């Protein structure tokens, strides 16, 4: 059973409540979190009215095949980039239409090592999209705080981004 810290639990409840009040369903597209965002959301009673599906897309091929992210984009930009995060969020929404109207996507470097000089451990790109609306992007640098902490902070940042998108 997934146990959430208090802050993550409150954020997950807030996302579920905001989506329910607006009649929206949500889809996640997760790389470094491997389904933890969907896991956090589904700990909330009533989440079945909001959570439509979750894509875990760890590899380049999965991002391309499951979300329609152009393979060349992933190869040329690297999976850890604003362009790929945005394409993941928009692709998840497109692949979930008409059931879901909101998406959130995350891609990053959980560590412990850096991907390269430009993509250090703790670098995360997040994107959230709403049907007929803008796609928001945020870059976070959590530092070398360890793989579990980078993933936990990413879940919280993703939930906060959804709340920002929903206003």
The predicted-structure confidence for 23-72, as pLDDT tens digits, reads as follows 999 999 999 999 999 999 999 999 999 999 999 999 999 999 999 999 99
Residue 1 predicted with pLDDT over 60: no
- Spatial strand order of the sheet with 135-141 comes to 51-56, 26-30, 102-108, 123-130, 135-141
Distance, in Å, from the CA atom of 31 to the CA atom of 89, rounded to the nearest integer, reads 12
Cβ contact 119:107 at 8 Å: no
pLDDT band at 164 (very low <50, low <70, confident <90, very high): very high
Q: How high is the pLDDT of residue 29?
A: 98
The strand ranges marked E within the chain are: 26-30, 51-56, 102-108, 123-130, 135-141
Question: By three-state DSSP, how is residue 10 classified?
Answer: helix
What is the pTM assigned to this prediction? 0.96
Question: From residue 55, how far is each of 3, 28, 79, 104, 123 by CA, in Å?
Answer: 21, 6, 15, 10, 21
């Amino acid at each position: 059973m997934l146990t959430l810290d208090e802050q993550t639990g409150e954020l997950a409840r807030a996302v579920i409540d905001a989506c329910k009040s607006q009649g929206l369903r949500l889809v996640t597209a997760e790389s470094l979190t491997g389904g933890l965002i969907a896991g956090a959301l589904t700990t909330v009673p009533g989440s079945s009215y909001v959570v439509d599906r979750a894509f875990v897309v760890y590899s380049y091929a999965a991002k391309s095949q499951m979300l329609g992210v152009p393979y060349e984009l992933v190869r040329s930009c690297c999976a850890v980039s604003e362009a790929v995060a945005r394409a993941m969020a928009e692709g998840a929404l497109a692949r979930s239409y008409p059931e879901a109207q909101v998406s959130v996507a995350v891609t990053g470097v959980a560590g412990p090592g850096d991907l390269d000089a430009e993509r250090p451990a703790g670098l995360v790109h997040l994107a959230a999209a709403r049907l007929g609306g803008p796609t928001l992007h945020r870059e976070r640098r959590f530092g070398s705080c360890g793989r579990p902490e980078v993933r936990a902070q990413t879940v919280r940042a993703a939930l906060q981004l959804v709340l920002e998108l929903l206003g």
